[in-house]
Structures are given as structure tokens and as C-alpha cells.
Structure 1
Amino acid sequence: MKLMLLAAAAVALVPSAASAREWVVIGNDEHGWRWQMDRQADRLEGDHVYVWARSDLPPGATKVYSPSNWYFKIDCRHGTIRALRMIVYDKASGRQLEERSNPDDVGGADMAEPKSGSIHETIVGHRCYNPDF
């Protein structure tokens, strides 16, 4: 019985992009991508918040870029963000095309302070400083 409980606890710690999420639009980035973030944090560890976000072009966009899900680690004490996972989907079929761990375009292996006015600053702001989120 204890082994089953430990196994269930271990599975609960593994982030899953497929589970039901309450997506909330938080804005567009400088490239026109529409960003949404899961209202619920995936997990909390002290000042660190782990959260799923996703990006896609706004409805009606004619470009054929694929949407992607992002798994971020946010340090609310220092206002930094790190991408831990990125999953890219085919826009037409919804099939997963690629998954990367520690993508380096949002700070890579180190926590990065987001640029002023960036979507990453918006994500940190919503998750750490918005009591209604």
C-alpha cells in the first residue's frame, strides 16, 4: 500500500501538458504571438512557482506557425523566469512535433531577469504580483 502511495506521489510531481487546464489570455508578445497561462500553478516550492503557459498566433492570423506549450519556473523573490520544457504541436492536426528540455531562448540553464515590457515580464507579474490570478 505504501509503495502505491509513493508511486502516485511521484507521478503527481511530473508536469503534464495534457491535463485539463484553465487557460487565461495574458497578452501578446512583440512578435504577435498570443500567450495564455494556466490559472493554477502546477506546483509551489518556497519562492518558486512552476506554471504552464502556451503561445499561438491570434485567431484569424494567416501565418502557419505551430503553437507550443511552455513549462516555466518562476522565482518570485528575484523576479526571474526559466523555461524548463517546450512542446511544439502541429497547427493542423494537433499532433506533438517536438519536445525540448531547458530551451535556451528564455534563459537556458540559468534564471533570467525578463526584459522590460516582454511577455516573460508579464508572466512573472501575473504569477507573482497579481492577487486575482
Structure 2
Amino acid sequence: MKIEASSPDEYIGKIPEERKGPMSRLRAEIKENLPEGFEETMSYGMIGYVVPHSIYPEGYHCDTSLPLPFINLASQKNYIAVYHSGVYANKEIHDWFVEEYKKRMGKKPDMGKSCIRFKNMEQIPYDLIGELCSKFTAQEWIDLYEKNIKKK
């Protein structure tokens, strides 16, 4: 589901009504818990949280004109998705998240490499997403990105 929007507010305004509350709450949880240094923007047609060029001038290795992506939030066709690059790049954080999700939700999360999918809007562990967002400073994300992801 591609949503044409030039701002996060416009993005949320264009999604289906039943998703506006959960998306707004996820957005607030992310913004409240992300350490300083990350910036909210539109990124790849989704709400994005990035390390801006003012902090990391090199930008994203796939397209250096773009800031370094960290988290994206999207309303997809059949679910809401939180794309968290730290879950993909750090096995310890991945394993912590999966274990905490099981404890809190009683089941394994529906995940891809960096994608956490929420098909049931009534079963989103907002506090856990907030905790996950607080696990990396911008500098820690840059260091991990350069070590594990960026092509030399």
C-alpha cells in the first residue's frame, strides 16, 4: 500500500480510519523513546527516523544523498509495520526483542529481517516498541551500521 505524503501528519491522515489511532500511538511511542540525534522525516514512502546528514554526512551507502535510515513506520496492505534496522543488525537486540515479545504477548512476533508486523491492531505492545527504540543512540547506530552493514 503506497501512500503519497510529504509529511508524517499527512501520511497518517491518508491511512484507513481504523489504523490512525494505532499508527499515531506507535509514532508517539517512537518519538518519545528515541534518543537525541534521530530525526523524523518521510523516508521511502513511510514515516522514517533517520540520522541526519548534519550528524552523519556520509549518509546511506545505497544512496548517499539520503540520511542514514534507522526506523520506518508504515501502514501496509494487511498490517502495520515497524522496520527497525537495529533488530536486523544486532543479534543481541533481536534475541532480546523476540524473548520480551513472547513474555508480554504469549507468542512469537511476526517478523522479517527488520520488519515487525502487526496484523491485529488490538495487539500491539506499544511499551515494548518504545523500549526497543531506546536501545541505540545515534552514535551507537552509526557504529553498528559501519561495522555490520555499510559496504567498504
Identify whether the pair has TM-score above 0.5, normalized to the shorter chain. Answer: no
Say which structure is richer in strand: 1
Higher relative contact order (CA 8 A, sep 6+): 2
TM superposition score normalised by structure 1: 0.29
TM-score (norm 2): 0.26
More helix by share: 2
